Amino acid sequence: GAKQKMEFMTKKGKSYLAVKKIRRFDDDFSIGEFEEMAHDIYIKAHETIA
């Protein structure tokens, strides 16, 4: 209900502020590129450990 909607908006706001903070240091930051890069790093790390 209302509590879940409030939590969702709080998380969305924090996420927006985090991206805004990153963009202060890196003007070319792209969430899509970051997502792909993070996924590749995760897979490589998992393969290295396993």
pLDDT digits 0-9 by tens, 1-42: 898 988 988 988 999 999 999 999 999 999 899 999 999 999
**pLDDT for residue 9:** 87
Closest to 29 (Cα-Cα) out of 18, 40, 13: 18
Structure tokens at 15: 């996420």
Number of domains into which the chain is organized: 1
The span from the CA of 42 to the CA of 49, in Å, is: 11
Looking at the predicted structure, is the pLDDT value of residue 46 above 90?
yes
pTM: 0.59
Looking at the predicted structure, is the pLDDT value of residue 49 above 90?
yes
Task: Give the CA dihedral 23, 24, 26, 30, nearest 10 degrees.
Answer: 0
**pLDDT for residue 43:** 97
Structure tokens at 45: 């790390």
The domain of 6 spans 2-49
